[in-house]
Amino acid sequence: MTAPSYPVIRLKPKANARAIRHGFPWVYDNELVVDRRTRKIAPGTIAVLEDGERNPLGLVAVNPESRITCRMIDRDLDAVIDRAWFEKRLSKALSLRERLFDAPFYRLVHAEADGLPGVVIDRFGDTAVVQPNAAWADVAFEALTEALVAVTGVGSVIKNASGRARQLEGLDNETSVVRGTAPEAPVPVPMNGATYMADLTGGQKTGLFFDQRPNHAFAARLSQGARVLDVFSHVGGFSLAALAGGAVSGLAVDGSEAALALAASGAEAMGVSDRFETRKGDAFDVLTALGEEGAKFDVVICDPPAFAPSKQALEAGLRAYERVARLAAPLVAEDGYLVLCSCSHAADLAKFRGACTRGIGRAGRQAQLIHTGFAGPDHPLMPQLAESGYLKSLFFRL
């Protein structure tokens, strides 16, 4: 077979080619020689990346409209990015998940860490939800979909085009069903003894957050016989796991009526509705109100959205995390537990921990940090890419 002919894109002489050779998967726009020919490369094109001395480094997906202009795809210069190529990558990803989980509910592909830059695939039984968050994945989406069906045997594939990442790539936000049919009702997802209801077409992200699975389990261990408050609860992630673990009560707080309705449906499916309540409202307002009411809980969990999604938002985000801790800490009974989470890429563990500790201190409480949790193993970390280790969960005893 004739080797494919790819266009060439080149690093500036002073760019850090060593980082690329050692596994860093991105090249930014200011690191490249950009001429008229380079600017004409269509978003999603596969090209050969060369260093400043014209030595080839590998195949990259190019998007001149994104600050991340190149994403490393394959070190093999003769690779053909077709259905067979996708099948190999997906088979490797599937083998890990099948070893880890006994039911097909997990993140199947976690972007760069699974060798598919910018691609996220969550599996819900017979349905897969794909987020192609990079231009090359949009261009190759048909081959990706065919490979996904062939490797996993799923009957339905949903393309989820929502989210900030696609906007940064200059892509559309049109979500569609590309294979089979979308589930007519929320899909029941078993995790940690709980049942979650996932809305795969109208919910947040792909419908459910699989990443917190091990942290839900650790919180459940602390919740036996406990009164539990779950703030920014989405579909009841922490509170339903706590009830499955023997909590005497669970209160889920969220700003979304739809998410709370799904949480209540999950509680009903589990047979714990008599121990479960919801409260709709702004999380900061509800935390303040609960404090004024003198409410106390044995376990309080706050799992907010990304307050610091970028470096520009870091300082404001850290202040928000500190405020959450300051408002939540007074609600924790003596010797109870406070769980504070962040999914912000820009706030590293040290900065996030510092903000939480300041908030707890400002609330007049003393704390022991007993556990630090991260995303589950179906969200593998690419060691060279700090951004792939975004999730942090801090478990304090107050």
Residues annotated as catalytic are 343
340: β partners: 302, 394
Judge whether 299 and 242 are in contact, CB under 8 Å: yes
Tokens at 95, concatenated? 């083998």
Helix (H, G, I), strand (E, B) or coil at 73: strand
Q: Which residue, chain included where needed, has tokens 């820009």?
A: 346
- H or E element at residue 193: none
DSSP 75: S
Tokens representing 392 are: 């942090």
In 71-85, which positions are buried (b, 16+ CB within 10 angstroms) versus exposed (e)?
bbbbeeeebebebeb
Residue 286 structure tokens: 């509800």
Q: How far, in Å, CA of 206 to CA of 58, rounded?
A: 31
At 395 the three-state DSSP class reads strand
- Contacts of 303 by beta carbon, 8 Å cutoff, 6+ apart: 212, 230, 231, 232, 233, 234, 237, 238, 339, 341, 393
Q: Residue 55 in contact with residue 13, Cβ under 8 Å?
A: no
